[in-house]
Amino acid sequence: MSDSNNKAITGGEFIIRDVSCDEIFIPEEWTEEQRMIAQTCQDFVEQEVVPNLDRIDAMEEGLMESIVEKAGELGVLGISVPEDLGGMGMDFATSMLSTEALGQAHSFSVAHGAHTGIGTLPILYYGNEEQRKKYIPKLATGEWKAAYCLTEPSSGSDANSAKTKAELSEDGKHWIINGQKMWITNAGFADVFTVFAKIDDDENLSAFILEKGMEGITLNPEEKKLGIKGSSTRQVFFNNVKVPVENQLYERGKGFKIAVNILNIGRIKLAGGVLGGSKGVVTDSVNYANERNQFGRPISKYGAIKHKLAHMAIKCYAVESAIYRATQNIDDAINSMAAGGMDKAEATLKGIASFAPECAMLKVVGSEILDYVVDEGVQIHGGMGYSAETRIERSYRDARINRIFEGTNEINRMLTVDMILKKAMKGELDLMGPAMAIVGELTSIPDFGDAPSNVFEEYHGYVKKFKKAILMVAGAAAQKLAMTLAKEQEILMNIADIANEAYMAESVLLRTEKRVKLLGEADSAVQIEMMKAYIWDASNKINDAGRDALVSFAEGDELKMMLMGIKRYTKIDPFNIKESRRVVAQAVIDANKYCF
């Protein structure tokens, strides 16, 4: 969908490259077919999930399984499964859109995400032909449900330290698996388990496909949880489970590779799901604000409430812009590799892996935006927001897990910086040249150039400076701290926050600019205000994170120079931010829903 004469962008390259709005995909470009698929998913949530939320959270026997099966009958579980294996064979962007549409389904969205993502994809992408033919069609229809068994009591973020063992039987026909897994989503009703274990004394994990009926698999009772109460979460125990040797998935010792690649997909898919949840909360909140009267008028007429609604909507618009920008970059990379003769499954994995930094960034930003939105949603509802009678109370509890699973946000922040620096060390990204240029720029007289001719030229100038802030802080930290940088987690997280905000700011700018090209300035007036407001906030966050990082490792004249640099790179011409936010709030209030 993107059209550019330039060489296709690669993951992390946004830091050192100017990106044109013509290169990105924006949600305003969805086809009629894609919109219909999203509508089907939304209708399914409204008809099958929302009326049953209390029953789902009460873990009513058989209910979640039956809803998963209904989703399978509709085709919702097989959107990204190839047609010859019983799915719809749609592209990555369409599967992301369906994930977003199902993101308002509370516990069901977790069951759906685990089944279609980490449950199905290891077999789809790493299974041999026999394994794919045996399992994928039944997973695509929901006849079989899937779970993914990686986490153990002593191995969460450090997944490769797992202790579950696999040993070959004397006759060489079975793997004998012993161990335990915890926090396993869908465990209570799964038919198929992808289980990670170490063969003998291997350094790295291997993966195996287990079935519910295999002797020696037992489950603990359902975990009692803060939120997503309707999602089945159990410990799974393996006691001398005999697994046919043909059920080993992919190659020995390559299980960790499977886990890492599937988590990359899981991260960006989680961002899509939480986007759907965030939009739903904005709609719930504005509905309440328009109905609730205080001092003789709806509370939506008060500036304090408008401020909240605007912030909530702007954050949703920004993260949506970034998610579908990255999603299309991934689709383009997949198609390019497949066109070059690579197997489609392999191309899909490599395409997603090439944008692993963006997947980690979006997981962090998306989950934190959802947390912000639900928190403000409760506040707008006031006392009613604390009552279990309202959906916002459930949304508040259900949101919290998203900053923990698919890798905690702290781990993902550090991963983002680590992955980008590793790309630079491998020669895949030239960070050193641009970083050295920044050092020269800091000691020279600023070139103010010509005045920008329009708002987009002006804001491209700001985003370009945000990227210089990343290069300045990361470059100086890498030079000063060298091999010890990996241990300076606070500084790594500061750098990740600068990168996250720069990527989001650029995404919202490019989307709005392309929208004006497609639909005209008059039709995009509110979106322009959203863009300005988001980039204003981003400049403040980048300034804070940059200053925090710099004072943590630099000193003397060098520190003074770089503090002046961070001030220069985050400076934005002032405008009336209150009025910009009020324009956004009024659009949401008038529509009585999230309307962008």
Question: What is the Cα–Cα distance from 61 to 50, expressed in whole angstroms?
Answer: 18
pLDDT score for 536: 98
Question: What is the Cα–Cα distance from 32 to 152, expressed in whole angstroms?
Answer: 44
pLDDT band, residue 4 (cuts 50/70/90): very low
Q: Specify the fold of 413-591.
A: Butyryl-CoA Dehydrogenase, subunit A; domain 3 (1.20.140)
How many CA atoms within 13 Å lie on the side-chain side of 247? 23
Give the mean pLDDT of 5-20: 87
| Dihedral pair phi/psi, residue 229, rounded to 5° | -65, -25
Rg (CA), the chain: 24
Give the mean pLDDT of 310-331: 97
Residue 504 confidence (pLDDT) above 90: yes
Report the DSSP beta bridge partners of residue 174: 244
Q: Where in the chain is the domain with CATH 2.40.110.10?
A: 31-253
Give the mean pLDDT of 436-450: 83
- Show the tokens assigned to 400: 């919290």
Reported pTM: 0.96
Give the mean pLDDT of 181-187: 97
Question: Minimal CA–CA distance to 63: which of 96, 108, 30?
Answer: 108
Residue 186 confidence (pLDDT) above 60: yes
pLDDT score for 157: 76
Question: What is the Cα–Cα distance from 494 to 434, expressed in whole angstroms?
Answer: 20
pLDDT band, residue 524 (cuts 50/70/90): very high
- Show the tokens assigned to 438: 């920044």
E-state strands within 132-286: 146-149, 165-168, 174-185, 192-199, 206-211, 217-219, 233-244, 248-249
Question: What is the Cα–Cα distance from 303 to 132, expressed in whole angstroms?
Answer: 56
Mean pLDDT score of the chain: 95
Residues 6+ apart with CB under 8 A from 383: none
* Contact present, 222 and 233 (Cβ < 8 Å): yes
Quick: pLDDT tens for 133-144.
Answer: 999 999 999 999
| Dihedral pair phi/psi, residue 254, rounded to 5° | -105, 15
Categorise residue 235: left if φ over 0, alpha if ψ from -120 to 50, beta otherwise.
Answer: beta
Give 465-491 as a DSSP string. HHHHHHHHHHHHHHHHHGGGGGG-HHH
Give the mean pLDDT of 115-122: 96
Quick: pLDDT tens for 349-408.
Answer: 899 999 999 999 999 999 999 999 999 999 999 999 999 999 999 999 999 999 999 999
Please give the share of the chain, as a percent, with pLDDT higher than 90.
Answer: 93
Give the mean pLDDT of 500-518: 98
| Dihedral pair phi/psi, residue 187, rounded to 5° | -55, -35
DSSP state of 48: I
406 tagged catalytic: yes
pLDDT score for 2: 41
Question: Minimal CA–CA distance to 405: which of 109, 67, 65, 190?
Answer: 109
Quick: pLDDT tens for 272-305.
Answer: 999 999 999 999 999 999 999 999 999 999 999 9
Question: What is the Cα–Cα distance from 56 to 228, expressed in whole angstroms?
Answer: 10
Residues 6+ apart with CB under 8 A from 164: 152, 177, 178, 179, 180, 181, 195, 196, 197, 198, 238
pLDDT score for 440: 87
- Show the tokens assigned to 507: 């995404």
DSSP state of 246: G
Question: What is the Cα–Cα distance from 550 to 544, expressed in whole angstroms?
Answer: 10
Helix 303-339 to helix 525-553 angle (10° resolution) is 80
Q: Specify the fold of 31-253.
A: Butyryl-CoA Dehydrogenase, subunit A; domain 2 (2.40.110)
Quick: pLDDT tens for 29-56.
Answer: 999 999 999 999 999 999 999 999 999 9
Domain 256-411 CATH superfamily: Butyryl-CoA Dehydrogenase, subunit A, domain 3 (1.20.140.10)
pLDDT band, residue 5 (cuts 50/70/90): very low
Quick: pLDDT tens for 535-563.
Answer: 999 999 999 999 999 999 999 999 999 99
Own/partner long-range contacts of 493-497 (Cβ < 8 Å, ≥24 apart): 493/410, 493/413, 493/414, 494/545, 494/546, 494/548, 494/549, 494/552, 495/417, 495/470, 495/545, 495/549, 496/361, 496/364, 496/413, 496/414, 496/416, 496/417, 497/413, 497/541, 497/542, 497/545
Helix 525-553 to helix 489-519 angle (10° resolution) is 160
Tell me the helix, strand and coil percentages in the chain, rounded to 5: 65, 10, 25
* Contact present, 436 and 555 (Cβ < 8 Å): no
pLDDT score for 444: 81
Question: What is the Cα–Cα distance from 266 to 262, expressed in whole angstroms?
Answer: 6
Q: Where in the chain is the domain with CATH 1.20.140.10?
A: 256-411, 413-591
Among the listed residues 13, 65, 320, 406, the single catalytic one is 406
* Contact present, 82 and 14 (Cβ < 8 Å): no
Q: What SS3 state is found at 19?
A: coil
